[in-house]
A and B are shown apart, each in its own frame.
Chain A
Amino acid sequence: MFSNILIWFVIVPVLMMIGLAFCDNSNMKAIRGVMVAGSTVLLAMSIWLVVDFLGLRAAGDTSEMLYMGSWMWYAPLNIHLAVGVDGISVLMLLLSGIIVFAGTFASWKIDPLPKNFFLWFCLLSTGVFGFFISIDMFTMFMFYEVALIPMYLLIGVWGTGRKEYSAMKLTLMLMGGSAFLMLGLLGIYWHGTPEGGVHTWNILEISHNASIDPSWQNLLFCFTFVGFGVLGAMFPFHTWSPDGHACAPTAVSMLHAGVLMKLGGYGCFRIAIFLCPAAAQELSWIFIILTGISVVYGAFSACVQTDLKYINAYSSVSHCGMVLFAILMLNQTAMTGGILQMLSHGLMTALFFALIGMIYGRTHTRDIREMGGMMQIMPYLGVCYMIAGFASLGLPGLSGFVAEMTIFFGAFEHSELFYRFFVIAGTSSIVITAVYILRVVGKVILGPVQNEHHRELTDAAWWERLATVTLIVCLAGIGFFPNWLNETIRVSFEPIINALNSVF
């Protein structure tokens, strides 16, 4: 069991938690030591995994999932701890590794109770990593919930603003989604095996069996898609997102918007679409309407906000809506674009939240009306903010452009009027994004200095520079060399596309 590399993605955060448990709240050095060591190991592991994965693929290993492992857990119900990764999960692990690493540095000076903060932060990371390595629905769901619950305390204790309200709202709405999700998973478990077979939670086995009755598929697809869709901030279940992100501490906003919301999109295609393909073909139009609304509505809402974090949170609703929108197009190009968008949005939004946290830590305000001229005061952070903004509005050379282009190319493959209408509506969001990004850049970064006291503020410290540089390098990396990503993702979608095509 321990010889499998994937298991260590869960074990390392747990070890970090154990290490932290022995630290004292006042001993900041020890806490930072554990966190930096652990997150560096995680980042190194995820980079190694990507390299090794690509190596194996290049050597001609074409099996659906690699590094597979399966260990019996609850034998009576055939629950396994089953792991395995394809190209998409490998990239998601890499994304999580990067953001956990950057998040550690972004919360360098967390206060109060640093030890407890990092304990919950590590539990959150355990859930995120565990989710991406699982191919057993039960463990997947377990890790999913493990990732949700620390949010309550992380926002409630270390957040800002209306934190109690936001924390409760976020937790309850996400758990509400997981209630529907659980019912869907139970249905898939009991229907996913032909008569007389041993019931299984294993996603690959269920998809090979392909034995779910179409009428049940419709129901189960709706349950699972809505369940994951809540986390993917699908309209009308997105309302937790702006409040939650705005009130969360920096590192948590980063991890949540950067990775946790991707759990939703990932689950949507890995479970809802993969296991209920007939229903996906039949019912995707409902969710295309909903996600189409998310994309446009999120962008418009961002235009009128005055709090930097709210602007970014609504922009996340819009961009994550785009992820689900792309996945629902049910063709390889658009879905590949969806994954690229996940990566791009994950890095970009983490960068945004990190920068906003750094600016807020200095100015103690996030209201754009009270700020201005950051370029003169803290040029480093100003430049970073502009880079993040350009990535968000899809400037070529950065990741956003690649992702959105691929999505709209894929979406245009559908020639029906219905699809055309929503694709055109979706593209309009690019323009609206430019409006709200440039508004902030013009006002806060480049505009005149609003508050003379701000002139005394300092620019980024080394740990802040480290966090931002890591993210910017990745953003530009995707923008300049999208090809290898594109191929990896494309190939990984083949089983899902085959399942979808075998319906007709």
Chain B
Amino acid sequence: MDYSQFGAMLPELIILGLFFVVFLADTFSKEGEKKWLTPFTTILFLLSTVAIWLIPASGETIFGGMYVDDTACKAMKAILNIGVFIVFLQAAEWTESDEMIVRKGEFYELILVTLFGMYLMISARHFLIFIIGLESASLPLAALVAFNKKHYESHEAAIKYILTAVFSSAILMAGLSYIYALSGGSLYFADIAKAVTEGTRSGLLIVGLAFLIAGIGFKLSLVPFHLWTADVYQGAPTAVTSYLSVVSKGAAAYAFFIIFVQVFGAVFSDLWEWMMYAVIILTITVGNLFAMRQKNMKRFMAFSSISQAGYIMLGVMAGNLGLASMMFYIFVYIVSNLGAFAVIAAIESKTGKVGMDDYDGLHKTNPWLSFVMTLAMFSLAGIPPFAGFFSKILIFTSVTASNSMALYMLVLVALINTIISLYYYLLVVKAIWIKPGEAKIERFDSTRCERVGLVICVLGIVFFGLVPYIYDYCYEAVKTAYGILI
């Protein structure tokens, strides 16, 4: 075997190396002397993020076509890394709590392992690698969800998460076995794509595709596979919830795109366009309708993130132009959603309050947190001049590129749904700024790490819509890797 091939997997190797460094540091440091572990890991992770942004993609396909390291994959990994970095900053204070202090190494290790899994999912060009990535991205997450040892909800959430994760993997495998049969015994993406293009549209393929959508749909919490989301988001520690809602979703969305557009692209309009059409409309609408009635901020964000996943999925209807817009959408979603979660986490760790009613009059005591929350809500709702507006419009523009009437109607449904979503995002703004009476949350200072995280989110929200740097970066990456036709 030619071990030099591993050299092409540089992003994975960096994360794996980081994992071992943190693991060893954690193991060989004494109990009670782990204070330095948080800045140590966070700074190392920042360095690795910068490295992954800067090193050019090798563009090589290795292991006989099982794994590819192209510019688009690399760009996606870099975007996810930003999200993880912000999550680390948010989690810093939480990991210092008494309950966490002895186990904080594990938190970082588990996150790094799942991130490694996500990298594999993104770069996989063979279903075995994909499954390995998927499993190592989802199983450790169950441990993370259960991280609040003493909270009953955390355990319940973990059980729910692991059961649905395993169940969805089983469905995914079943779907894969049909695809395997169809392709004449190969799990390589290239072989399957060839078989699908040349072969007939058999019933087996339809069932296989439906199972694949269901399997990955669970990870993305697309409706009707979303039932676990709200409980898990509510029960999990807030840092883990924010990780679940953005990073893990982003990776799954990218993998979904690669599998469906590149492998099954030939049967797009025959077979799966209509399935996805229905799933997207359901996801956006149901997520929105349920979010309106939530009183707990974490549940609220859960339903909001279901509906956002529907918007992300619009990208798969639009070919490679859609991929560029989708990656940009994921970036914007990361900074906006994490901005909101950072505020929720800060308030929860200081006061233990997560109800929307508790936010009444927040601006009187915590004007800066109120400001960030307002920006995040506006960005999620797609209000200019914040980044969320641009990401939404760009994804809508790519979907309508094919000029099919059905897709115009899909965009119309999505646009009307933005109004519904605006309603409930404004409820938060209303609680913060308009509700009369004394503030229920007293004044407090956020920690330094939280502030850095918030500043990054605000910069992302305010600048990266007005400055098209990230979009151009994604577009160029996709264009170099797969080519784009407008």
Range class of the A interface residue count: 20 to 34
Judged by a CB distance under 8 angstroms, whether A384 is at the interface is no
Per the 8 Å Cβ criterion, residues 58-76 of A in contact with B are 73-76
User: Is there contact, CB below 8 Å, between B396 and A191?
Assistant: no
Shortest distance between the CB of A340 and any CB in chain B (Å): 31
In B410-437, the 8 Å CB interface with A consists of: 411-412, 415-416, 418-419, 422-423, 426, 429-430, 433-434
Q: Which of B8-16, B139-147, B192-200, B468-476 contacts A (4 or more CB under 8 A)?
A: B468-476
User: In whole angstroms, how far apart are the Cα atoms of A143 and B383 in the complex?
Assistant: 10
B397 near A179: Cβ-Cβ < 8 Å = no
Cβ-based interface call for A383 (8 A) = no
**Measured between alpha carbons, how far is A290 from B400 in the docked complex, in Å?**
30
Residues facing B in A174-224 (CB within 8 A) are 175-176, 179-180, 182-183, 186-187, 189-191, 199
**Cβ of A183 and Cβ of B472 under 8 Å apart?**
no
CB distance from B221 to the nearest CB of A (A): 25
Q: Is B403 part of the contact surface with A, judged by Cβ < 8 Å?
A: yes
Interface residues of B in 264-291 (CB under 8 A from A): none
Contacts of B384 in A (CB 8 A): 142-143, 145-146, 149
Q: CB-nearest residue of chain A relative to B405?
A: A219
Among listed A164-172, A412-420, A479-487, A489-497, interface-contacting one = A164-172
Task: Name the residue of chain B whose CB is nearest to the CB of A14.
Answer: B385
Q: Give chain B's interface residues, CB within 8 Å of chain A.
A: 321, 324, 378, 383-385, 389-390, 393-394, 396-397, 400-401, 403, 408, 411-412, 415-416, 418-419, 422-423, 426, 429-430, 433-434, 468, 471-472, 475, 484, 486
Residues of A within 8 A of B419 (CB): 172, 175-176, 179
A136 to chain B, nearest CB (A): 13
Please indicate the chain A residues that have their CB under 8 angstroms from the CB of B385 in the complex. Answer: 142, 146
Q: Which residues in B have their C-beta under 8 angstroms from that of A476?
A: none
Measured CA separation A156–B435 after assembly (Å):
9
Q: Closest chain B residue to A186 by CB distance? A: B400
List, in ascending order, chain B residues with CB within 8 A of A157's CB: 433-434
* Chain B, Cβ-Cβ closest to A79: B468
CB of B422 within 8 A of CB of A74, answer no
Interface residue A77 (Cβ < 8 Å from any Cβ of B): yes
Which of A75, A164, A190 sits near B434, CB closer than 8 Å?
A164
Q: Which of A73, A141, A172, A190 contacts B401 (CB 8 A)?
A: A190
Known: A76-B475, A183-B411. A190 touches B400 (CB 8 A): yes
A145 neighbours in B (Cβ, 8 Å) = 383-384, 389
Instruction: Indicate whether A153 reaches chain B with its CB closer than 8 angstroms.
Output: yes
Known: A145-B389, A171-B426. A77 touches B394 (CB 8 A): yes
Which residues of chain A have a CB within 8 Å of any CB of chain B?
A: 73-77, 138, 141-143, 145-146, 149, 152-153, 156-157, 163-164, 167-168, 171-172, 175-176, 179-180, 182-183, 186-187, 189-191, 199
The A contact surface, by secondary structure, is: helix
When distances are taken between beta carbons in the complex, the residues of chain A under 8 Å from B433 are: 153, 156-157
Instruction: Find out whether the CB atom of A179 lies under 8 angstroms from the CB atom of B412.
Output: yes
CB-CB < 8 A to B416: which residues of A?
Answer: 176, 179
Min distance, Cβ A77 to any Cβ of chain B, angstroms: 6
Q: Which residue of B lies closest to A74 (CB)?
A: B468
What 5 pairs between A and B have smallest CB-CB spacing?
A179-B415, A156-B434, A142-B384, A76-B475, A186-B400
A-B contact sample (11 more), CB < 8 A, given A77-B486, A172-B419, A182-B393: A146-B384, A153-B434, A156-B434, A157-B433, A164-B434, A172-B422, A175-B418, A179-B415, A180-B412, A180-B415, A187-B400
Residue numbers in B under 8 Å from A146 (CB-CB): 384-385
What are 18 of the A-B contact pairs (CB < 8 Å)? A73-B468, A74-B390, A76-B472, A77-B394, A142-B384, A142-B385, A152-B429, A163-B434, A164-B430, A168-B423, A171-B426, A175-B419, A176-B416, A180-B412, A186-B411, A187-B400, A190-B401, A199-B486
